[in-house]
Amino acid sequence: MASGHLFRRLAAALGAQSPTIARCLIPLSSSLFSHCSSSSSSFSSFKLRNQWLPHRKISATSSSEALVDDSLTTPYLSVLIHCPKDVADGLADALLCFGASSASMDEDDFCVNTDEVCISSIFPEDEDINMCISHAADSIGLKKPPRYEVKIGEHDDWIKKTQESFHPIEITEGLWVVPKWITPPDNQATNIILNLGLAFGTGEHPTTKLSLLLLHGCIKGGEYILDYGTGSGILSIAALKLGAAFAVGIDIDSQAIASASQNATLNNLGPEKMQLYLVPGKSPRSFEAVEGPNESEIAVATEKNKYDVVVANILLNPLIDLADQIVSCAKPGAVIGLSGILCEQVQCITERYSPLLEGTVVSEMDGWACVSGRKRSDLDVC
């Protein structure tokens, strides 16, 4: 919807000046890889941003599955918000940026008025619901906050709703993303099995699809992959299932690392194939092991000129700020994929990366873009 597109443009333009929006859409040093995902508008779409779930630092001895289960048992408030159809998508996006953990829209379930949509959202128990909704409404230009109802949500109902909202997604012929609770539609295909809803990267968002399509086209077999801002681990897992030899995923979000670790296990990928690192938010250029490697191995994993493919599906500001670091990890001639950006932001990316990449290609989907190219062989800075 136009309202959703307008909000995304507003947030992209003003995020750095608005701390509240910035923590979601324009990452600061403490949130380099966070996402506020916006799927194509659909009244049955479900949006979830895990960074508002309770976080806990992961140690090398922590159980990632226990961490995930623990975060989901935290009490939640269920909020039903009534709003006009023409602002529903924008308001759902805004809610995610101002404290909601999830937002789903369905015009048939609750709303009697045909011009109205009901947004069913989940909030942490201690969230100021009125303030969140007021800020969200104001951010998309509503003159007054929409009416809403609050009730204590049942944990089991929330889990069921989350699961029912996800379905197998065919990225391209022979490549599927499949929720772990659903039987793959094609057992002969390359199936990426995910416990969806715990971190960004479900296969639904255009930036994830574009990144998967890039990997599908460039993986020939035996490559070393760096997944910069791994989220659910979907890109690392896809690369390995497509034939890559080894993948490293990094993220600043402990919940994302826990989710990626669980998803690696679901796909029978051990530490000899896929390793994950937590990047401390206050020191984004250092790396901390979460699973497997010791400190000396971390240095090897993050050394320069190591990877055949580097993919960063994050956001505009970190892609700009960390360009040299991202490219430095790639071998000369390696494929670099940059996504998480709006189509109107492509020029910013191409201008920043033109001294670093050659053969740049831009692919677009539903207002989002992926810029890819190969690392120049004559670089001094990287």
Q: What is the pLDDT of residues 186-196, one digit of tens each?
A: 999 999 999 87
- What are the C-alpha distances in Å from 278 to residues 267, 307, 328? 21, 19, 19
201 lies in the same domain as 328: yes
Q: Is the pLDDT of residue 312 over 50?
A: yes
What confidence score (pLDDT) does residue 300 get? 62
In a domain, 291, yes or no: yes
In a domain, 199, yes or no: yes
Task: State the CATH number of the domain containing residue 252.
Answer: 3.40.50.150
294 lies in the same domain as 213: yes
In a domain, 380, yes or no: no
Residue 344 is classified by DSSP as: G
Per-residue pLDDT averaged across 280-299, rounded? Answer: 48
Domain span at 82:
2-163
127 lies in the same domain as 183: no
Token couple for 60: 């090398």
- Total number of domains constituting the chain: 2
Q: Which of 104-108, 209-213, 296-300, 372-376 bottoms out in mean pLDDT, i.e. has the lowest?
A: 296-300
Other C-beta atoms lying within 10 Å of the C-beta of residue 83: 24
304 lies in the same domain as 202: yes
353 lies in the same domain as 213: yes
Between residues 126 and 258, the one the model is more confident about:
258
Between residues 16 and 129, the one the model is more confident about:
129
Per-residue pLDDT averaged across 348-371, rounded? Answer: 96
In which residue are the tokens 């308001």 written? 91
Last residue of a domain, one of 163, 196, 230: 163
In a domain, 186, yes or no: yes
87 lies in the same domain as 223: no
pLDDT band at 238 (very low <50, low <70, confident <90, very high): very high
Q: Which residues of 328-367 are buried (b: 16+ CB within 10 A; e: fewer)?
A: bbbbeebbbbbbbbbeebbebbeebbeebbeebebbebbe
Between residues 164 and 362, the one the model is more confident about:
362
Helical segments of the chain, H only = 2-14, 19-22, 64-72, 85-97, 129-139, 155-164, 206-218, 234-241, 254-266, 295-301, 316-321, 323-328, 346-353
77 lies in the same domain as 225: no
In a domain, 381, yes or no: no
In a domain, 358, yes or no: yes
116 lies in the same domain as 131: yes
Last residue of a domain, one of 135, 163, 191: 163
What confidence score (pLDDT) does residue 126 get? 81
Q: Is the pLDDT of residue 12 over 80?
A: no
213 lies in the same domain as 351: yes
346 lies in the same domain as 218: yes
Torsion, Cα 193 68 52 42, to 10 degrees, reads 30
C-alpha neighbours within 13 Å on the C-beta side of residue 371 = 27
Q: How far apart are CA 94 and CA 103, in angstroms?
A: 10
In a domain, 382, yes or no: no
Burial of 325 (C-beta count, 10 Å sphere; 0-12/13-18/19+): middle
Q: Is the pLDDT of residue 346 over 90?
A: yes
Per-residue pLDDT averaged across 350-356, rounded? Answer: 97
46-48: strand order across its sheet: 46-48, 102-105, 116-124, 76-84, 148-153
295 lies in the same domain as 323: yes
Per-residue pLDDT averaged across 53-81, rounded? Answer: 48
| pLDDT, the chain, mean | 75
215 lies in the same domain as 158: no
Q: Is the pLDDT of residue 39 over 60?
A: no
Q: Which of 145-149, 156-160, 351-355 bottoms out in mean pLDDT, i.e. has the lowest?
A: 156-160
In a domain, 54, yes or no: yes
Task: State the CATH number of the domain containing residue 92.
Answer: 3.30.70.260
Q: Is the pLDDT of residue 105 over 80?
A: no
Other C-beta atoms lying within 10 Å of the C-beta of residue 20: 13
- What are the C-alpha distances in Å from 348 to residues 28, 41, 315, 317, 344? 18, 26, 12, 10, 9
What confidence score (pLDDT) does residue 122 get? 84
Last residue of a domain, one of 130, 163, 196: 163
Contact in structure between 306 and 329 (CB atoms under 8 Å): yes
